[in-house]
Every structure is written in C-alpha cells, then in structure tokens.
Structure 1
Amino acid sequence: MTSQVQDDTLAQLQAGKLAAVKHLKLSCNLTQFPPQIFDLADSLEVLDLSGNALSDLPRDLNRLKKLRILFCSNNQFTHLPEVLGQCAHLSMIGFKANRIKHIPESAIPTRTLRWFIVTDNALTSVPNTLGECAKLQKLMLAGNQLTTLPNSLARCHALELLRISANQFETLPDFLFDLPKLTWLAYAGNPFCNAIEQTLVSQQPIHHIDWQALTLQQALGEGASGITYQALLKNKGAQEPVAVKLFKSDLTSDGLPRCEMHANLLAGEHPNLIGIKGIIHNHPQGASGLVMPLLDADLKVLANPPSFESCSRDVYANDFSLTPEQAGFIFNGITQAAEHLHANGLMHGDLYAHNILWGADKVALSDLGGASFLPLDNPELTRKILKLEARALAVLAKELKKYSE
C-alpha cells in the first residue's frame, strides 16, 4: 500500500470518516498511537500498525473491546506492552522486527492467544505465562537470543507450529517431543546444529551462478522470505528459462537464508522436489538467492496458506476437489520427497499443501525455508524429530481424503 493511501487513511480516521470499520491498517511513520482509533472501539477487530516508529501503546488499549488481531511489526518497541494481557479477545499478536528484549509475564492474554509472532527481536527469554495459553497453536520465535524455553510450555497441548531457528540453543528442549500436536518445527541456525549443517554441506559441491549471467523477468510470486522471478540464464551461448528466488533480508520468518540455501544443496535432485541449479554469486547489493528450474506453468499450488481464522490449517478453494487417484498421486509423491529429504539429513519442517505444486503428471514439494538439519549421529533424537514430520503427512492425508470423497 502506498504512503499516499496510508496518509489518506489517517486523514479519514482523524476526520471521523471510518466509523464502524473492522479492519484498520496505518503505516505512515507514526510515533504516537492515534487517539482517534478509540472511536472505533465498538467495531475494530484487526489493527495493523506495522511499519511505523512506535515504541509503546496506550495503557488503556483494552478499550478496543473487539480487538482480535494486532500487528506492530517493524517498529521500535523494546518491550511487549503489558496492556495486551488485558485485551479480552486478542488471539493473534505480531511484533516481528522490533527491538524487544523483554516480555512481561502479564503481557500475554493467556485465555485467548492462538498465534504469537516475535520473530527478529532481541529476546533472551520468553515468559512462563505462555504455558498458560491453552489455545496457543503457532509460536514464532526465530531470530532472537534464546538459549532455552520455559518448561511451562509443556502444558501447551494445542501447539502445532514452532519456529526457534536462528537463536542460541545448545540443545532441543526434551518436552517438545511430548507435545501431542506439535507438527511443524524449525530449529536450523542454532549452535547445536550448526556443526551438523557444516558437516553435511561440506560434502556437497556448490555451483555458484554469477549475477551477470541472469536476466530477471516478471515476478512469479512472493513469500515471507523472498520474491521469486522468472529469469533467463546465459548457458553456453543459449538463454535458459529459470526461476530466481531473492531473499528479502538476512532473516526470514522461518530462519536464515543461509540455512535454506544449504538445505537446497543438501536435498539434491528428486522427481518430487523443485531442486536448484545453483546459488547466486556477485549480486550488486550482496543479496542472497537461489537459481531453480522453471516449472511448467500448468502446475498449480494445492492450497492457500492458513488464514487468520484457520491459524494452522491451509485454506482450499471453495470449489476444490480431487479424484481418489489424484489424491493418491499427490500423497505418494510428497511422501517420497519427504523420505528423500530425511535420507539426506533434512526435515522439511513446513510440509503443507501451500508448499505443494501439482499437475496431471507431476507433483513437487517446494520451499525449504523451514527445513532443519537432522542429528544423524543421534538416531533416537532423529526418530523423535521425524515423528513430527509424520504428523504433517497425516494432516495432508486427511485433507486429501476430505477433498477426494
């Protein structure tokens, strides 16, 4: 959204012209919380204040009595405001890319919280009260300075997705494997697995592709970690169509671009994986990126990512359906891709329908941004980790069955 549109939205708010709106987004260099937002107390459900210069919120924010979702990413918060714990219906909180060092115990709305995002901050601990969140399904903690998680999290029996990549863990907390619903876990980029990563990758040849050999064309899609373009690669005098993924920053919502690039190298080739041609070298701005085969345009994404409401489940099109044969084809292909990754020392970590491309003759598992390196020297721990991926495959099987009956 352009700054002009955002300025217009702020002007409309200040003029009292947004009465009864349920969703408000303001990104216009705010340094203070606009008090006119309280005029929407009887209607406002989703408030997005990302991309401003805010460092605090009003102590009476709970006057927004219908507020369910709050985004304050890319601001200047150094702590999570305590008032959040008093918001009666707050189920989703996003404070990515701030400067947060401290989360008060009282800042967590324990009765309602389902989805908590504090990726890319400066946390050395998270509050024990997270363990009181019986409804917590997704917890995004990548890119902090955490060395441990509170044992109270063992009581989060609804937790399904956990991101702890790019922290300072020396080991994985044992209680994680007792969580009955934990399915999608990402932990790459921590001290305990960096040596594993380097050992595995050192055995792989790395093909560097010079930036000058690439000509970018149209964008094919954008995810949390980067933008993928169609491109041409100069190859022995010819122009080969390829796909190029450029990472947006040094940290993604799942972890480090380095880990994703290494995971792609380690994955190698398989008929049911996208695969890569090489890693970009000599980008003028120093950006990281991957060069991948350009897939058939007829391939389509199986489903859309989770919505605010579905939280941890993908959203299929209303008219989506499969034949039993198609469902079996998709599931068998993805199972084979997952088994190939496991045999090569990787867990996918984000095995979801929205990361599956399929057509009449091909099915492919994409996006290794949430992949983690398996501790192959510890077979028992590896077995526990892969049990989580088996749950992800079971979720996929259930969804495919639903849409093929």
Structure 2
Amino acid sequence: MDTLSQLRAGNLTGIKRLDLSCGLTEFPREIFELADSLEILNLSGNALSSLPADFGRLKKLRVLFCSDNPFSQLPEVIAECPQLRMVGFKACQIQQVPAAALSPALRWLILTNNQIEQMPETLGQCKDMQKLMLAGNRLAQLPESMIACHRLELLRISSNRFAALPDWLLTLPRLTWLAYADNPLSEAREEASVSPSAPVNRIDWHSLTLKQKLGEGASGLIYQADWQKTPEETQTVAVKLFKGSMTSDGTPQSEMAASFAIGSHPNLVDIAGQVVHHPDGTDGLVMQLIDPQFKNLAGPPSLDSCTRDVYSADTRFTLRDALSLATGIASATMHLHAAGLLHGDLYAHNILWNGRGGALLSDFGGASFLPLNNPTQSQTLQRLETRAFGCLLEELLAHCEATSDEQDAWQALAALKARCLDTDVAARPSLSEVYRDLETLSKRLG
C-alpha cells in the first residue's frame, strides 16, 4: 500500500514524518489528522500551487519541504504554524515573498532557484535565522533590516543580480559561510577563468572511460575513470559530472571557474581539466584520484544541527593529528585567499583525511572570487572564512584527546579558536596569521 493510501486509510496515526510525492494537485486534508504528532512534512515533487487556509492547524510541524511545486508565492499560511523552524521551497516558480509569510521564529529558509526579485524588510525580524539560501533568483539587493540577523551563519546568494556586496552584511557577527558567485560583481573574473583563451586543460570525453561511482554530492556525481592522455599513457582519475544548471551553492560554470583559478597545493584536491564534447553537453571536471584511505572528516549538517557538521560518535583525534590536520587546511585556505578566492564552504564534510593528520580540502561549489577592486571588503571576506576555520578548530578540540604533557598546547589551540570566532569580524586573525601560529605550536609540541 502506498503512503497516500495509508494516510487515507488512517494507518499513519502518530507518525512524526510524512513524505508524499505522487502528483498531488491539492493538499490532502487527511494530513490534519496527524496534527498531534507530525513534525516533518515533505510535499516536494508534486503539482501544488497553494496550501489550505487552516494550515496552521499543524501545531507541531517543525520542518516543511515543498520544493519542485508550481507555487508563484510563498504561502502566508506557513507562518501560522507555531513550531515551524525550517522551510524549503526550492525550484518552484516563486516570484513573491509576502512579509506575512516569514515567521520571526524561522531558523532555516531555502528559496533556491526561483524568480524572486525582492525580499521583504520583515526578513530582519527573523532573529533566529541561521541558514538562508537564495541562490538562483533575481535579487539585486538584500533588505538592510538583515543587519539585525546576528545569528545568521550561512548565506547563499549566488546566481542573482548583485553588482556589489553591502558593507553591512560583512559585519554580521556570526556570518561564516557565504557564496556569491555568478553575480555581476564577479562576472568578469569568472568569465576570464573559463574563456577559450584561458590556460585550461580541456579533456575530450572520448578519452575517458568511466568505472565505478565513487560518490555523489549536491552538485554532481563522481566516478573513477581511466584517462587516455596519450596513446602510450593512461592515468586513473576522478571525474565529476554535474547534475544540472543550479545547485544550492550556484552553477557548475562558477565552480569550474573557481577550480581553474586555484592552482596546485598539497592540501587541495588537484584539478586536471575540464570535460569537453560530452554527448549530452554535460559539464564535468577531471580531478586527481584520492587514495581510498582518505575519508570525509564528518557528515554534513542535519535538520537539527542546521549549520554544524555531524561527526560519528566514535570520532577521536590525538592532539598531534588534530594540529597536523588544522595546519594543512589553514595552509590550503591561505593559498585560496592568495589566489583571490573564498572557499565559501569550509566545512569538515568537505575535508578528506587519512586518519593520521593528513588532510585535503575539496569541493569548490561554494567558492567565489574576492572583490580585488575593493581591498577592504576582500580582507573582511577572508575574516569570514577565519570564523569557519574557528568552527573547525572547535570541532577538532571537542573530539581531541590530549595527554597531561599536552595541556598547554591544547589551551593554546583553544585560545586560537576563540580568536577565530571573535564576533568582531575585524578582530579575527587572517588565515596566514592562523597558519603561522599553528606552525609555531607544532614546533613547541615537537
């Protein structure tokens, strides 16, 4: 029996999560019979264009997903759900976001890939907002009322119409992960990075033989492949094939532009080139194949953790391994900044490590070019990434086992973490300063 039939038969009493994707054109009113228990409702992938006027009856609803439905407006009725904290209307046809639709209690709002030209001033009343995803719209500005959003940590505004970033945005005390590629403010540098005259290695699809799938992310699929570089030489590589034209972070073109501008570094995943002549026109990257001993440091944020990664319960680091890992990632991030780039997604789930302190920073889907014509903003943006590094240090220390002889070093690392997390953006150290301090600490530890 399918889920809709079970719902209508009254067989789902007491459930906390309901997923319905079955071509719905109207909201099934039987859902209200679950009002005493339902916390997560996923109606993505249907043909809904409205929600009922009494939607607020879902008094325990915390999470609502309505992506891939033909809504033209964010429904005002969602704000009547007293416990609603996370809302996702991705890839709908939303043009209007009414002020009344935004509950001040919202913590996580996803409006990626719509047709929104303006966000209401009431967005600034969402004082608990931590994660705001607006990539792929038609925004040229953000409401200045957002200066009051002191808990905002992750913001995605790629693929919009921003000619510049507002200075007030970069003063937000907890803003940490910011992506703004594919906007007029960075258009020239992105186009230069992928132009036909750019020194990019273009790799013919027909020289690649795909093997097993290695993984899958929000933006694409990664395969192991054999690359026939010359008639005499075959190299084993990884190939990333992008899924579509828009992700929560931005476009494949922006990710490729950033990837080609990075250059080589021992703690970054090397990019070999761009896939060309794919029979379906699919965009792709050819990358170094990572030794299978390297694993993701952590899992991505959950619905509950919102902006913070999730580590397995048995994760433990020695202080030396934690320090080695941190030093490598600081060096890689410093290299990106020197190349004029912001990673934008400096997270443990984008770090591969070998269990002994060796680490690689990967995934440039959230990367953006720094505004080199605005040195003040460029430096401030780098200090946002310092906070991301501080979050990483905080997580490493939480899973770190220090011996009695290492307590001074542990305290020094904790003090560095505190400096990186300073709510005064200007007071944070640069990544080059962080790297220098880590190097000094490594020498002290011996």
Bin of the TM-score, shorter chain as denominator length: over 0.9
CA–CA separation in structure 2 for the residues paired with 1:195 and 1:213 = 31
Q: Does 1:182 align with 2:178?
A: no
1:390 corresponds to which of 386, 391, 394? 386
Q: Does 1:347 align with 2:332?
A: no
2:86 partner amino acid: M
2:323 equivalent in structure 1: 328
CA–CA separation in structure 1 for the residues paired with 2:214 and 2:31 = 37
2:99 equivalent in structure 1: 105
After TM superposition, the structure 1 = structure 2 runs for residues 59-208 of structure 1, keeping only pairs within 5 Å, are 59-110=53-104, 112-199=105-192, 204-208=198-202
Query: Alignment partner of 1:231: what SS?
Result: strand
CA–CA separation in structure 1 for the residues paired with 2:229 and 2:164 = 44
Q: Does 1:17 align with 2:18?
A: no
Q: Which has the larger radius of gyration?
A: 2
1:3 equivalent in structure 2: none
After TM superposition, the structure 1 = structure 2 runs for residues 218-257 of structure 1, keeping only pairs within 5 Å, are 218-237=212-231, 238-257=233-252
1:368 partner amino acid: F
2:319 partner amino acid: P
After TM superposition, the structure 1 = structure 2 runs for residues 296-335 of structure 1, keeping only pairs within 5 Å, are 296-335=291-330
Report how many aligned residue pairs link the two structures: 398
1:362 deviates by: 2.9
1:380 equivalent in structure 2: 376
CA contact (8 A) 1:196 1:375 kept: no
* Alignment RMSD: 1.3
CA–CA separation in structure 2 for the residues paired with 1:39 and 1:133 = 30
1:27 corresponds to which of 21, 27, 37? 21
Query: Alignment partner of 1:277: what SS?
Result: strand
Identity of aligned residues (%): 55
Distance 1:204 1:322, change over 3 A: farther
CA–CA separation in structure 2 for the residues paired with 1:318 and 1:55 = 42
1:287 partner amino acid: T
Q: Does 1:400 align with 2:396?
A: yes
Q: TM-score when scaled to structure 1? A: 0.96
CA–CA separation in structure 1 for the residues paired with 2:16 and 2:250 = 32
Query: Alignment partner of 1:191: what SS?
Result: coil
CA contact (8 A) 2:181 2:368 kept: yes
CA deviations 1:331-369 (Å, max 9, x no partner) are: 000000001111111000000000000113631000000
1:368 equivalent in structure 2: 364
1:198 deviates by: 3.1
CA contact (8 A) 2:167 2:377 kept: no
2:405 equivalent in structure 1: none
Query: Alignment partner of 1:62: what SS?
Result: helix
CA deviations 1:72-94 (Å, max 9, x no partner) are: 11111110000011110100000
2:393 partner amino acid: A
* Ranges in structure 2 where 5+ consecutive residues have no aligned partner: 402-446
